[in-house]
């Protein structure tokens, strides 16, 4: 990325900056590419498999708690984990 373009992006308001957030399909493709199952990922993250499945199906959005943590770690959401 050129220096000029990068300096222009920096000047944009934070909400206007492009986030690198993945869709559920992209997360599924990433799991296949890495050869990991939902069960393995859930165990690594420390959440229930059900939460991962529900995030990937769009049943939950990951607004709070473990769902938020999982969505951020999977790259489906821009957020902070404390």
What would the pLDDT profile of 50-76 be if each residue is shown by its tens digit?
999 999 999 999 999 999 999 999 999
What would the pLDDT profile of 35-57 be if each residue is shown by its tens digit?
999 999 999 999 999 999 999 99
**Cβ atoms 15, 43 nearer than 8 A:** no
68 against 79, higher pLDDT: 68
Average pLDDT, the chain: 85
Q: To which residue do tokens 């607004």 refer? A: 63
Verdict on whether the full-model pTM lies above 0.75 = no
Identify the structural domains of the chain with CATH numbers, from first to last.
21-82 (1.10.260.40)
Nearest to 71 by CA among 54, 1, 82: 54
**Cβ atoms 76, 62 nearer than 8 A:** yes
């Amino acid at each position: 990325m050129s220096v000029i373009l990068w300096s222009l992006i920096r000047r944009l308001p934070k909400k206007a900056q492009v986030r690198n957030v993945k869709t559920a399909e992209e997360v599924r493709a990433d799991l296949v590419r890495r050869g990991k199952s939902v069960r393995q990922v859930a165990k690594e993250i420390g959440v229930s498999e059900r939460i991962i499945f529900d995030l990937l199906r769009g049943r939950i959005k990951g607004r709070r708690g473990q769902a938020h943590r999982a969505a951020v770690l999977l790259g489906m959401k821009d957020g902070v984990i404390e």
